Amino acid sequence: MLNPALPNLKLFINNEWVDAKSGKTFPVINPSNEEVICEVAEADAADVDVAVKAAREAFKVGSAWRSMDVFERERRLLRLADLMERDKVLLSSLEALDNGKPYSVAYAVDVSLSIECVRYYAGWTTKIQGHTIPIRGDAYCKTLLEPKGVCGQIIPWNFPLLMLTWKIGPALACGNTIVMKSAEQTPLSALHMCNLMQEAGIPNGVFNLLSGFGPTAGSAIASHMDVDKVAFTGSTEIGHKIMKAAGESNLKDISLELGGKSPLIICEDADLDKAVELAALALFLNHGQCCIAGSRTFVHDSIYDEFVDKAMKHAQKRKVGNPFDSNTDQGPQVDKEQLTKILDYIESGKKEGAKLVIGGERFGDQGYYVQPTLFANVEDGMKIEQEEIFGPVQTFLRYKSLDEVISRANNTKYGLGAGIISNNTKTINRLSRELQAGVIYVNLYNHFCASAPFGGYKMSGIGRELGFAGLHNYLNTKCVIESV
């Protein structure tokens, strides 16, 4: 759908479309051609206040949402997933339009996984339960799992719809209400989701969506005294600010899914052709704009040169271009800021002595495109080895032993993911235990599923999303002890 119908471009508060209190709007840019797609309402702290009040009212005991039968809540969430399925082409087109990812990928991956996520958590609404606990004395103990309340949710631009569903799925399944801020670069699919929420029968005030910027709307959510919990996906830098704001306000609960610099370890027994394919998937998915990207590729010394040669030939085949062209493998980066940042990292790699194998330049003169870029002879401590580039820049490091590669792979402030490519069970088991990361991929990469928990160690975040573990971000445990 080359010219998808645009959704309502206002703020969505209490099931109504409203202008920002300030009357401000901001432009949404098409990263393929750098042209303005539309202007959307720009929320700030005043709009956050209104949205939080609506969410608080919807969370009151006796409200339509709080008194809704859990089976009815399940039916409405399943209805939401069905509506997403009906509008799959439109949602995929909106993702390609303001994010720049290929339409074919948005359809097959982003929107499909988003629908799966809503359906998965719809099923949990009827299965959230506490326990009875044997305790000392003439007393009876039980636990109740209760929703946290008003949840602030701040989502990123790299997977706009998917990150929306990773947040709303468990939050709504547990019975919370939501004030969400979408990324300013990619608001369109989230705005269409508001229409689907209405159609699915989600009550007034349960889901509120604000388009806006982090320093204004995002900061106001994180520091709001009547927000009970904040969930954020984005950079580690902003994660620090979210955590500080939560602590300095009402000490609200937080969950953070932050940056990564994930190692991908190619062992000497790996099938080289398969390893090259998986390494490309690990790095180039979503144009490298993926927090768990396998962006440090450690290759065993005995196969290093052959691997790099095969990786170069594989990268040469990647087609960069229009997201709506079915043959496109890689669209533009999301905005000019990202383009500039990536090109700066490439220059840093050159200056620090890494060998540029292929790419290294902007692609074309219109749109935020970057050539698929490969660096060999990358050394520990180089900027491109240590910092999250968030672009199509693949780095190859040489290693000789497992002890060495484990130490080097763990030598990072991040710990979101890691990958292992090997046919040796003993090697796989050791690496899986000793790599400091929340998600370990073995002989595959970027395999996402709503039932599998996702999250990191160290500065890659706090808490887990998806699966049963993802519910705990949105539940309080109440202990009830009574005399018998």
Q: Which of 215, 212, 203 is nearest to 181 (CA)?
A: 212
Amino acid at 374: L
Query: Which residue of the set 257, 385, 388, 465 is catalytic?
Result: 257
Q: For residue 375, what are the β-bridge partners?
A: 356, 395
Query: Which residue of the set 291, 385, 388, 465 is catalytic?
Result: 291
Q: Which of 54, 13, 418, 337 is nearest to 198 (CA)?
A: 13
How far apart CA 224 and CA 205 sit, in angstroms, is: 17
Token pair belonging to 237: 């830098």
What's the CA dihedral at 239, 243, 245, 250 to 10 degrees?
Answer: 150
Token pair belonging to 9: 């471009």
> Taking a C-beta distance cutoff of 8 angstroms, is the pair 12, 181 a contact?
no
Distances, alpha carbon 365 to alpha carbons 225, 287, 327, 343, 391, in Å:
47, 18, 20, 14, 18
Distances, alpha carbon 196 to alpha carbons 7, 86, 146, in Å:
11, 10, 26
Crossing angle between the packed helical segments 88-99 and 160-173, to the nearest 10 degrees:
130
Task: Check if 479 is active-site.
Answer: no
Helical (H) or strand (E) element with 431: helix 425-434
DSSP classification of residue 14: T
Q: Which of 79, 33, 113 is nearest to 336 (CA)?
A: 33
How far apart CA 443 and CA 422 sit, in angstroms, is: 7
> Taking a C-beta distance cutoff of 8 angstroms, is the pair 326, 104 a contact?
yes
Task: Check if 291 is active-site.
Answer: yes
Q: Give the DSSP per-residue string, 358-399.
A: E--SB-SSSSS-B--EEEES--TT-HHHHS---SSEEEEEEE
Spell out the residues 6+ positions from residue 47 whose beta carbon is closer than 8 angstroms to its own: 11, 13, 20, 21, 210, 212, 217
Q: For residue 245, what are the β-bridge partners?
A: none
How far apart CA 254 and CA 151 sit, in angstroms, is: 10
Q: 294 by DSSP, 3-state: which?
A: coil
Q: Is 455 left (phi over 0), alpha (psi -120 to 50) or beta?
A: left
Token pair belonging to 335: 């905005």
Helical (H) or strand (E) element with 58: helix 45-59
> Taking a C-beta distance cutoff of 8 angstroms, is the pair 458, 257 a contact?
no
User: Which of the residues are catalytic?
Assistant: 257, 291
